[in-house]
Structures are given as C-alpha cells and as structure tokens.
Amino acid sequence: HHDRHLHVYDSKQFPGEDLRIMERTVVLPGSNTRWMFIVGQAREGLNAQIRTLRSTLFQSFALLALGLFVLATLQTLYGLRPLRKVRL
C-alpha cells in the first residue's frame, strides 16, 4: 500500500496459526524514504478477548434490562397509587 492509512487484515500464512496483521506506510518528517511498519498477533488471543468482552457485555445488558423492568414496574405502581383513592 502506498497510502498512509492503517490496513488491517487476517493472514493464514502459517499453517495452524491465524494472524491479525496491521500495516501502515509512514514518511518521517524531513525524509523522502517510505517506511512500512507491519505488526502481527495470533488470532487465538484476540478471539479469547473478544469472547470475554461479549460475555461481559451480554451479562451487563441483561442485568440492566432486569433493573429497568423492575424500576419501571415500581414507578408505575407508585405513580398510579393516587388513582386508587378515587376508585369507585
């Protein structure tokens, strides 16, 4: 790549070990030389982190939904209490 944007892709170059590759071309100030920096990390570790994050988010949103349901129910019961006094 000859642009200065970050490029992220998966590589299956090594059998049995998928890699996540990040690549960027940089021109340092005062230089005409293009430097290409490429960094790779095993996908296995990244996938484990993503699974942990998804699990935490799911549990947090489930707890939030339950809390909001309970609070909405309590608000409705408390808010409609004055109307019970005018019931015929």
pLDDT 10s per residue in the chain (88 long)?
667 789 998 888 888 888 999 999 988 888 889 888 999 988 888 889 999 999 999 999 999 999 999 999 999 999 888 888 887 6
The pLDDT score that the predictor gives to residue 51 is: 95
Alpha helices in the chain (DSSP H): 43-79, 81-85
CB of 58 within 8 A of CB of 64?
no
Whole-angstrom distance between the N-terminal and C-terminal Cα of the chain? 78
Distance of CA 59 to the CA centre of its chain: 14
